Amino acid sequence: MTRSVQQYLYLLVLLGNSVGTCGLLFNVTDNGQGFVVSINNIQLLEHTKSSPLLFVGLGLTLFPEDSGNFFIEDYTSARIPLADYNITCDQTSCVLRLSAGETWVSLLLKSERSQPLVLSIQDSSHDFDRTWLRVKAATNEEIYGGGEQFSYFNLRHREENKENVFPIWVREQGVGRNKSTMTTFMADIQSRAGGDYHTTYFPQPSFISSRHFYVHYDGFNYAELDFSHEDFHEIYVLGEISRFYFNTGDNLQELVSDLTSFLGKLPELPDWIMRGAVLGVQGGTQVMLDRYNYAKSFGIPVASLWIQDWSGKVEMPFGKRVNWDWTWDPSWYPGLDSAVRNLTLDGVKVMVYINPYLREGGHLYTEAASKGYLVKNSTGGVYLQRSVTLVFASVDLTNPSAFSWYKNVIKTNMIDFGFGGWMADFGEYLPVDAKLFDGRTGLEAHNEWPVLWARLNRETVEESGKLGDVVFFMRAGFSGVSNFTTLMWNGDQNVDFSLADGVRSTMYGSLSMAMSGVGLSHFDIGGYTTVSQLGLVRSAELLLRSAEMAVFTPIFRTHEGNQPEANVQWYSNTTTAAFARLARQFALLKDYRKSVVAQVSRVGIPAMRPVCLEYEGTPATATQYLFGPDLLVTPVYTENVKDILVSLPLTKGYTWIHIWSGTAYQGGQTVNVAAPLGEPAVFYRSDSAYSSSFEKLRAESSEVNSIIG
């Protein structure tokens, strides 16, 4: 819902105990002791003596880091409630002064960029280093967003009160992400790499409420979103605060569309990546071509071959790692230039891999270091870091010369080579004590780093005239990353069915991103993180359950994992035929998928969307999702499942058709349907313009339960 600034505060006038105009109202309460700020009758901010709007304080915050895992230690020594207030207004804005003795803050309230309420600090006593802003809450209110959250869809869940606080800090998501599991315990013991319920590559300081409003904080500071209280939500910001944006809408879909438009819409994906599988293969040119021919022999429609090891390999205890020196390794991939040309003629793109780091001792590292293009440490030397045992340095993305140099690396070594796209990995590791070219510290720039990395990739593609043809996908993000990236992916999940870090967590991640304004995401089919020593290896069942879910997403891409030899792969003898059927199903949905992806770019409605976004009033859950408006998907997240319960949204004028049996069901009921391997519980609207495409999928369906075990 777009409104002009003039509709809000331009006609601001004093109305007795209220200050207001079209849509926005400042209402004095408690005989002048408090106030409430509302937009379109939705109460957003409330101030009383006993529960002030704003707190300020002092303390110490530390960010120790190990391989991109940050262990934040936040100590508050003083927290001051600013209970006293006065307000003055003119025709365009209001200034709200909040104080407690000698400590005070002046807040500016105005409208801008079609946002009805923008709140920022105009001035202050400057004797504090942290701020807490409260937003009014309601008892049964649900909260969505926060960037990419893997553990909860409703961030105001009540299973465990302690897990309602979400730190906003870019970092590794962590292995296992559940402190009570052996996987996470061992990851912590061995390399401090175990995650927690809140750790994520892509946090975002914004949220959407079931009461039909959103709040977005546009700074890059460390922050926390606290949804543990009944009467208010609290946003904690470390350091000097930037602006808070508030908006309301008539429904959740309108809010998501507005937030997406405000933060930036992703471009449409090219046709080629939606017409078949993106097969993750590695091991050299001949292995790549052998895998391709093997795929064709089973009728797998191949859109791309993704070779992350195009620059060579290095041995690591965690498994083989890509050589972070972004130049074609002809000894590892002999004749790759010719192979890329021939595959392109065959309608198949070759995709590769890059990140913002350079391996110590590599050719590009040496060149960048000699030019002063690498992030510096406190003594002015190159800041060396580790990813497990790989030693590397970061290109300084705040240095315009380094930025241009790295863009030229991508143009020359990747785009001009003929590659169709790449994984733009990482972006989470910038240490807080780094010294940057633009004068900032790593603490000040850390959360912005993945956005700068995305901008570098996007500008490279655009300057090469390849936007709409070349695709790059990212895992790290922050507010505004959708302005630059062409696609997101969920990162490194475990190769298992675990709730916290397995196949199910990818849906939580995608749906929370959907509610944060990022509507195009996908995941590694079969997961990535493999720890064979603990028995954490990919089974055939997991691979195929993951693949059958990917059929109903924007992209169908596999990954061999960090220990390929330990995992069942799509090219394993027992799985290829079943995998091929699923890949063909994906290809059959191309026309529908194109229409869904176009909607993301045009109006900001996500491709994979929570059911409540289309059917408000239905339970907000991440166990089901809609792919576009016409397909309802209930994936299988656990082992040895033969049937599954599906909640069908209440509809008017159409029914839900079970895609595999053709049986029609009335909406508004829960049904139990068969869900054998290869046939997840998927329904389509009987009035869909793409019904004939959905019906074609039945011809490719087949039960493959015999391979389980």
**Residues assigned a catalytic role:** 425, 428, 492
| Residue indicated by tokens 């990419």 | 148
Element (H, E) at 442: helix 442-445
Q: State the burial class of residue 693 (Cβ atoms within 10 Å of its Cβ: 0-12, 13-18, 19+).
A: middle
**Would you say 143 and 265 are in contact if contact means Cβ atoms under 8 Å apart?**
no
**Would you say 310 and 352 are in contact if contact means Cβ atoms under 8 Å apart?**
yes
State how far the alpha carbon of 686 is from the alpha carbons of 631, 652, 707, in Å. Answer: 10, 11, 33
**Would you say 33 and 51 are in contact if contact means Cβ atoms under 8 Å apart?**
no
DSSP letter (8 states) at residue 415: I
| Residue indicated by tokens 């937030």 | 259
How far apart (Å, rounded) are the C-alpha atoms in residues 346 and 344? Answer: 5
Task: State the amino acid at position 72 in one-letter form.
Answer: I
**Would you say 461 and 470 are in contact if contact means Cβ atoms under 8 Å apart?**
yes
| Residue 214, both tokens | 């959103």
How far apart (Å, rounded) are the C-alpha atoms in residues 26 and 21? Answer: 9
Residues 6+ apart with CB under 8 A from 328: 310, 311, 336, 337, 413, 417
Strands 421-424 and 349-354: parallel
Q: In what order do the strands lie in the sheet with 385-387?
A: 357-359, 390-394, 385-387
- Number of Cβ within 10 Å of residue 197's Cβ equals 20
How far apart (Å, rounded) are the C-alpha atoms in residues 176 and 197? Answer: 9
Give a three-class secondary structure readout of 133-159. Answer: EEEECCCCCCEEEEECCCCCCCCCCCC
- Integer-rounded Cα Rg, in Å, for the chain is 26
How far apart (Å, rounded) are the C-alpha atoms in residues 57 and 59? Answer: 7
**Would you say 179 and 193 are in contact if contact means Cβ atoms under 8 Å apart?**
no
Residue 164 half-sphere exposure toward CB, CA atoms < 13 A:
19
Between the CA atoms of 148, 150, 152 and 153, what dihedral angle is there, to the nearest 10 degrees?
50
How far apart (Å, rounded) are the C-alpha atoms in residues 37 and 117? Answer: 10
Q: How big is the chain, counted in residues?
A: 709
For the chain, the helix, strand and coil percentages under 3-state DSSP, each to the nearest 5: 25, 30, 45
State how far the alpha carbon of 70 is from the alpha carbons of 19, 73, 82, 186, 355, in Å. Answer: 45, 9, 32, 17, 19
Residue 636 half-sphere exposure toward CB, CA atoms < 13 A:
25
| Residue indicated by tokens 């970092």 | 171
DSSP letter (8 states) at residue 582: H
**Would you say 77 and 165 are in contact if contact means Cβ atoms under 8 Å apart?**
no
Of residues 430, 362, 364, the one with CA closest to residue 398: 430
Strands 421-424 and 471-474: parallel
- The DSSP-derived string for 53-112 is SEEEEEEEEE--EETTEE--EEEEEEEEE--EEEEEE-SS-EEEEEEETTEEEEEEEEEE
Chain-centre distance of CA 93, in angstroms? Answer: 35
Ramachandran quadrant class, 254 (left: phi over 0; alpha: psi -120 to 50; beta: rest):
alpha
**Would you say 351 and 314 are in contact if contact means Cβ atoms under 8 Å apart?**
no
